[in-house]
Amino acid sequence: MRIAKRCVCCGSADLARSPAVLMPFVAARAFGWESVEITPDWGLRDLPAGWAHSLCATLACDACGLLFLDMRFDDAEMAALYADYRGPAYRTLRERFEPGYGARNAILEAGSTYIPAIEALLAGHLPAAPRVLDWGGDTGLNTPFRDGAALHHVHEISDRPLVPGAARVSAAEAARNTYDLVVSAQVLEHVPDPRATVRAMAAAVGPETLLYVEVPHETLMREAADPEARRLSKRHWHEHVNFFTEASLRAVLASAGLAVLRCLSHPVEAGGRVGHVFSVLARREPSQPAAPGTARNTP
């Protein structure tokens, strides 16, 4: 784990900082850290009694508006956090820290109900049976067009079984294939280095490929117009370690040579609850090569 000194979307060093805590489930899952109660029998002269949790900080970028956790997990910590994502061990540990999670998870496992709306948003840019890569697509359950796709590939760090018809691919394999649509939905809010993730995805984005990026438009970001108020209000961090603005999304895509065609913030209903997401459609800038030195082959 490292501590961010610059914005992970635009690279600016113009950051404001506020104290926060890392939620106990994430601390335990990623680091093996447990909260502890300091009691009088510890005999500590200068520390008051009470619970000690994992300290962190909320960082706010004055350039692009990104709000993010200062802790940037490394590959081993990300693997520990997301291995067997929502599987038995994950659910058991999270239920211990967050009673009632199991019931919420059952709703999530049923699949997103707003995928048809996303398909309608994308359909005019794609052939009838698109070749689709879902980057960070978990089991592939929520991949747009999966029932009618000519090809359904999933690139994913967790090891959960894929839905029928989907095939797992490595980043290198994805870069050698040709896709009509590359999807990254509900991924970038989790990752420690969004620019590196988008650059890796961009290697699979050819001149005619449509990229669809979806991230939550968090309630705090929508309802608190003042950047300082947002930062001061964000006192805890969970699995979502990046809270995006439109400017931060545009910056991270531009860093990989991708041009935004459309950026839309809109409500979606999932599990009986209404949330908001950013839906971003992008393509490779005409002057940008897909993957320098890599031959592209149609699977």
* Alpha carbon distances (Å) from 211 to 120, 163, 279: 15, 22, 10
- Quick: pLDDT tens for 96-117: 999 998 787 666 666 688 999 9
H or E stretch including 185? strand 181-185
CA dist 10 and 101 (Å) reads 34
For residue 295, is pLDDT > 80? no
**% helix / strand / coil in the chain, to the nearest 5?**
30, 25, 45
Q: What angle do CA 259, 211, 205 make, to 5 degrees?
A: 85
- Residues with Cβ within 8 Å of 252's Cβ and at least 6 positions away in sequence, in order, are 9, 10, 188, 194, 195, 198
- Residues with Cβ within 8 Å of 193's Cβ and at least 6 positions away in sequence, in order, are 8, 72
Can you list the domains of the chain with their CATH numbers? Answer: 2-284 (3.40.50.150)
pLDDT band at residue 272 under the 50/70/90 scheme: low
- Quick: pLDDT tens for 60-91: 999 999 999 999 999 999 999 998 888 899 99
- Quick: pLDDT tens for 205-230: 999 999 999 999 999 999 998 999 99
For residue 296, is pLDDT > 60? no
Q: What is the reported pLDDT for 83?
A: 86
For residue 298, is pLDDT > 60? no
> Which of 53, 21, 25, 23 is CA-nearest to residue 37?
53
- When pLDDT is averaged across residues 23-48 and rounded to a whole number, the result is 96
